[in-house]
């Protein structure tokens, strides 16, 4: 989707002055869009939903802050860069020494709610449009609900219970809406809201096979079933995980693991939901802002900032012969798939290969896509759920399918406990740098031991949830409480 700068998209004073959608260059105090005829066409309606997707292209939505709070924070990655370059707050996040004023947590909060507001505006406008093809309108409503659910899933995984904002508010905002937007709901309430949005999306969305051309970047029925399975995984609703994974049909593992992270591997048979980056050396870019260059090799012979570097612990987690290791990690002194040589003089010994762009490797906007849901994860989610249900013999073949694609043999694990550990390990090496490791460590109770092995101190009862931004707590007054990690 192209990044769209559209004057009729606004924030309706979402719940704090600091939560602005400023990359749309719009005054958030204006109550626009106004009349439905501004977008009362197939193209106009599609544009509204494109703007939700485009939230994911923002610098702090899917790039610098996102890498910090989901990757640098874990045992898979270090801050990287040079010792004197803290990346504003990347050093304190790496050391688990952050608090409620740490900027990256503010950014993730703000941008997800900005995207949610775009979804709410689209869902408000779409029923009013009588010149839009009915089938398209239905599909667009499904896309908006999927994307809203995805962003709420990010919020509840990171912060726990959060405010549920499900409609746009008039300006001036009513007292009832203000209190709704400032009151944290329980995590159970947020999960229930996500599930309702995803079930609505399932009814509205087509199968992936119905899309062609540029529409292959859009979410499908399979996307919604896969995300619903993942939402169930986090709630330990094991049978629901299995049932929804079984409905993710029409997908398959690609034979070459590394291919799916290259330009020619975009939206392949394994792709369920990925964000489309479009690089350009001359025109305004539509890629994820600085996603590639911020993680590229730094120092003499390098071309980037060098942040979010793989740890030795991650490198050691790969078994001998695992092709995923060299597809995930750029090693100092190696030659990349397009012939580019990584000088032996770059600052760090390892970098994130999945962030690499061959054509636009050193530009702000590249053609690198961000993979959020892949079929390999569906297999591993189903394996984990079956194993927890006591159906370990049925779980093992699914685990082995992922291992065999990586050129490994079948797992030696047989018991339920050993298979559980093997699945967790497989998620780590299969999905490294795909922004799941922190959440996996928290939901499975591995965080304290994993962080200790990486030289970090994880405090149980403090670090499970990210701190709620200070600006929101201040605005909320007594309506919302801070998480333990915010003090």
Give the residue with greater pLDDT, 31 vs 139. Answer: 139
Q: Average pLDDT, stretch 225-246?
A: 99
pLDDT at 31 over 90: no
Q: Average pLDDT, stretch 304-318?
A: 98
Q: Which residues pair with 482 in a beta bridge?
A: none
Weakest-pLDDT range from 11-25, 129-143, 212-226: 11-25
Place of tokens 């010792």: 83
Average per-residue pLDDT for the chain? 92
Give the pLDDT of residue 218: 98
Residue 63 CA, distance from chain mean position: 10
Could you tell me where the DSSP H helices lie in 100-252?
Answer: 103-125, 134-159, 175-182, 187-204, 221-234, 238-246
Interacting residues of 101 by C-beta distance below 8 A, sequence separation 6+: 469, 470
pLDDT digits (tens, 9 = 90+) for 146-166: 999 999 999 999 999 999 999
Joined tokens for residue 456 = 């970090």
Please provide the distance, in angstroms rounded to a whole number, between the alpha carbons at the two ends of the chain: 39
**pLDDT band of 216, cuts 50, 70, 90:** very high
Give me the residue spans of the domains in the chain.
293-370, 372-453
Instruction: Find out whether the peptide bond into 339 is cis, omega within 30 degrees of 0.
Output: no
pLDDT at 2 over 50: no
Q: Indicate the pairing of strand 77-80 with strand 307-310.
A: antiparallel
**% of the chain with per-residue pLDDT over 90:** 89
pLDDT at 341 over 70: yes
Architecture label for domain 372-453: Alpha Horseshoe (1.25)
Give the pLDDT of residue 9: 30
Q: Which residues pair with 274 in a beta bridge?
A: 371
pLDDT at 29 over 60: no
Burial 435-466 (b: 16+ CB within 10 A, else e): bbbbbbbbbeebbbebbeebebebeeeebbbb
Give the pLDDT of residue 313: 98
8 A C-beta contact, residue 310 and residue 329: yes
Phi-psi region of 162 (alpha: psi -120 to 50; beta: other; left: phi over 0): beta
């Amino acid at each position: 989707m192209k990044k769209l700068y559209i004057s009729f998209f606004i924030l309706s004073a979402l719940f704090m002055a600091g939560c602005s959608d400023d990359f749309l260059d719009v005054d958030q105090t204006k109550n626009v869009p106004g009349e439905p005829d501004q977008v009362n066409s197939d193209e106009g309606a599609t544009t509204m939903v494109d703007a939700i997707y485009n939230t994911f292209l923002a610098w702090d939505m899917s790039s610098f802050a996102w890498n910090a709070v989901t990757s640098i924070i874990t045992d898979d990655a270090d801050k990287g860069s040079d010792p004197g370059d803290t990346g504003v707050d990347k050093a304190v996040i790496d050391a688990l020494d952050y608090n409620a004023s740490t900027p990256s947590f503010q950014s993730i909060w703000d941008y997800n709610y900005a995207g949610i507001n775009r979804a709410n505006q689209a869902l408000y406008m779409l029923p009013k449009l009588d010149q839009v093809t009915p089938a398209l309108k239905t599909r667009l409503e499904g896309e908006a609900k999927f994307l809203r659910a995805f962003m709420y899933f990010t919020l509840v995984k990171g912060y726990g219970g959060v405010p549920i904002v499900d409609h746009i508010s008039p300006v001036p905002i009513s007292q009832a809406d203000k209190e709704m937007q400032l009151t944290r709901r329980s995590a159970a309430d947020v999960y229930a809201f996500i599930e309702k949005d995803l079930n609505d999306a399932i009814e509205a969305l087509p199968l992936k096979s119905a899309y062609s051309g540029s529409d292959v970047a859009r979410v499908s029925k399979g996307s919604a079933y896969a995300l619903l399975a993942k939402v169930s995984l986090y709630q330990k609703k094991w049978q629901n995980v299995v049932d929804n994974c079984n409905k993710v049909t029409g997908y398959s593992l690609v034979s070459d693991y590394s291919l799916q992270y290259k330009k020619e591997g975009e939206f392949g048979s394994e792709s369920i939901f990925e964000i489309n980056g479009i690089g350009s050396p001359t025109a305004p870019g539509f890629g994820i802002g600085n996603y590639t260059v911020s993680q590229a090799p730094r120092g003499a012979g390098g071309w980037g900032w060098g942040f979010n570097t793989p740890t030795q612990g991650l490198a050691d987690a790969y078994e001998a012969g695992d092709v995923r290791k060299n597809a995930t990690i750029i090693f100092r002194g190696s030659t990349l798939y397009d012939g580019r040589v990584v000088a032996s003089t770059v600052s760090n010994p390892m970098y994130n290969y999945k962030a690499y762009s061959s054509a636009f490797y050193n530009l702000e906007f590249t053609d690198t896509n961000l993979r959020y849901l892949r079929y390999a994860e569906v297999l591993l989610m189903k394996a984990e759920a079956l194993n927890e249900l006591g159906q370990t013999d049925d779980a093992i073949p699914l685990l082995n399918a992922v291992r065999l694609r990586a050129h490994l043999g079948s797992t030696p694990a047989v018991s339920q406990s050993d298979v559980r550990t093997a699945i967790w390990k497989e998620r780590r090496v299969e999905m490294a740098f795909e922004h799941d490791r922190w959440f996996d460590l928290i939901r499975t109770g591995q965080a304290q031991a994993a962080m200790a092995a990486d030289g970090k101190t994880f405090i149980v009862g403090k670090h499970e949830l990210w701190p709620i931004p200070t600006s929101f707590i201040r605005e909320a007054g007594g309506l919302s409480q801070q998480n333990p990690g915010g003090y």
